Amino acid sequence: MLPNLPRDEIKDIFRRCLLIRRFEESLIGLHREGGSFGHFHVYIGEEVTGAVAMRMLQPDDKAFTTHRNHGHLLARGADPGRLLAEIMGKATGYNKGKGGTLHALPGELGFLQTSAVVGGVIPLAAGAAYASKQMKKDFVSICLFGDGALEEGAAPETFNIAALWSLPVIFLCENNSLGLGERKSSDYSGSTNAARHLNELVTPYGIPSRVIDGTDAAAVHQAMSEALNRARAGKGPAFIEAQTYRWAGSKPLWPDLLTGITDLTMAWDKGKIPQEHRQWHEKQDPVLRISREILEAGHLSREQILELDSEVRSEIGKGVLFAKESPLPDPQSAFENIFA
């Protein structure tokens, strides 16, 4: 479902989804060409969650993300070129090449830390919320993390404190473990949690929670609205579990375009859907899902969808060029920025 928003806003959400998808596809392509940027994680399959949630934040709101950050950054307005430059270790990257994919941080967009330590950002995000409360500011803090973070001890300590002190923080757990069956030795595991329902982990602390389909734009919008209203009204934290299917291409340790470059015409032409990964193309891919919904609602025509995609791909193409042509950092800059 689409949220009940004007056409322009729906189009903007869609544009952000496409930007993320095309960015990640380009990144995987660059990696296959031999780009050496270390181990990286893509956001394919979770685009709708990030695209809807991040654009609901106010400029002053603080955000904390993880190793799977590209979608969050782009959804909040990060420049694809500077992000890619950072991932490639270039001087023009957001972190001047010091962070890479694991720590990419557009500080000017309200991101305060991108931590690749699982669960690391959970207390940090509550801390920013504490600062808001202490300084009597209006900003809220959003913590983006995966289902694995709930296996870390920092999570329950933070839930307890956030509830005790009524902190304006939103815990947005992106559970991308759906559809993970048997684990192969070369796969990441899914959730390894005794809790049958992850959202129930916050229930004893009195933190309200929602479990939603993370590919359902209306559900993301609704849950985020409730959480933001609650936080801004000083009523304390909220927890959202956005469930998405694990994209086949991120099951191996290195992302691989197993489902191909996304063909948006599959949204209306079932004949184009191959037998392999049929479930993905028909039901699980959030970008195809939102394309279908936008068509059905009459917000955009097929031609307009393809035109928008073409614009996005051109923007990504410029970003790739910028990143490739950007200089590497001066080796001496390794000794800068140790202290403020």
Residue 95 or 284: the one with the smaller Cβ distance to another protein is: 95
x/- site string to another protein, residues 9 to 48, per CB under 8 A? ----------------------------------------
Residue 158 or 244: the one with the smaller Cβ distance to another protein is: 158
Sole binder of another protein in the list 8, 34, 36, 153 (CB under 8 A):
153
x/- site string to another protein, residues 310 to 339, per CB under 8 A? --------------------------xxxx
Q: Is 164 in the site for another protein (CB under 8 A)?
A: yes
Residues 6+ positions from 137 with CB-CB distance below 8 Å: 60, 131
Residue 297 or 334: the one with the smaller Cβ distance to another protein is: 334
CB of residue 165 vs another protein: minimum separation in angstroms? 8
Sole binder of another protein in the list 19, 57, 87, 126 (CB under 8 A):
126
- CB atoms < 10 A from the CB of 3, how many? 18
* Spatial distance between the Cα atoms of 45 and 247, rounded to a whole number of angstroms: 6
* Nearest Cα residue to 290 out of 51, 70, 27, 71: 51
* Spatial distance between the Cα atoms of 131 and 143, rounded to a whole number of angstroms: 15
CB of residue 98 vs another protein: minimum separation in angstroms? 5
Q: How many residues bind another protein (CB under 8 A)?
A: 46
Per CB under 8 A, contacts with another protein among 66-125 are 93-99, 103, 105, 107, 112-115, 117, 120, 122-125
β-sheet bridge partners, residue 174? 146, 242
* Spatial distance between the Cα atoms of 112 and 141, rounded to a whole number of angstroms: 10
CB of residue 100 vs another protein: minimum separation in angstroms? 9
Sole binder of another protein in the list 127, 214, 255, 286 (CB under 8 A):
127
CB of residue 226 vs another protein: minimum separation in angstroms? 23
Q: Residue numbers of the site for another protein (CB under 8 A)?
A: 62, 64, 93-99, 103, 105, 107, 112-115, 117, 120, 122-132, 134-135, 139, 141, 153-154, 157-158, 160-161, 164-165, 336-340
